[in-house]
Amino acid sequence: MNKNNRREDIVLTAAKLFRKKGYNAVSMRDLAAEMGIKAASLYNHISSKQEILASIVLSVAKDFVGHIDTVVPQPIASIEKLTSIIHHHIELTAEQTDFLACMNNDWIHLDEENKTLYLSLRKEYEAKFREILRVGMAKNELKNIHIEISVFGILTTLRTLYVWYAKKDVVSLKTLKTDLPRLLLDGLID
């Protein structure tokens, strides 16, 4: 296993442990034990628990901003942009559940510099999401529903999805990708 793969492996294992026990309850020693290596050899790959946390949280936050940045300039209707964003949330929920959980539960434990960076990425994402709604409403592609209420309702559901999805394996990914955008965008009534 080369050095990068080993680092990646450490971060993936840490995300799983952080999700299960919370960032504060996991020590570098626990992490080494979980991986079956000596604590000292962790430090060949990573300098601190904080570095691991920042790596997890910021990779998810950057992934979200990166995705919305590819969506915004596309010459497609607002509804298609929103559908693409919802699909991206669903894909990350399914593929990176531990990372999402860790971001949501443990970002508060980032050091000041990383916390500021995380919060600014989060703010940037919300601003871009809000702008898609604003433009969609201005073009009459979307109904005129109070924009802060709309941002809150949709993003809250998407951000909580990983908690619910992990418990409900009754719903397939395929159904989720069809029916969650219907619920969030089209609603229950005609």
Binding site for a second copy (CB under 8 A): 79, 82, 133, 136, 141-143, 145-146, 148-150, 152-153, 156-157, 160-161, 164, 168, 170-171, 175-176, 179-180, 182-190
Q: How far is the CB of 123 from a second copy (least distance, A)?
A: 14
Compare residues 2 and 172 and give the one whose CB is closer to a second copy.
Answer: 172
Instruction: Please name the amino acid found at residue 190.
Output: D
Query: Which lies closer to a second copy via its Cβ, residue 54 or residue 82?
Result: 82
Minimum distance from CB of 163 to a second copy (Å)?
A: 9
CB of 178 to a second copy, least distance (A): 8
Answer yes or no: are the C-beta atoms of 103 and 61 closer than 8 Å: yes
Chain centre distance of CA 83: 16
Measuring CA to CA, which residue among 172, 52, 29 is closest to residue 103? 52
- Chain-centre distance for alpha carbon 154: 14
The rounded distance, in Å, linking the Cα atoms of 86 and 167 is 19
Among residues 23 and 46, whose Cβ is nearest to a second copy?
Answer: 23
| The length of the chain, given as a count of residues | 190
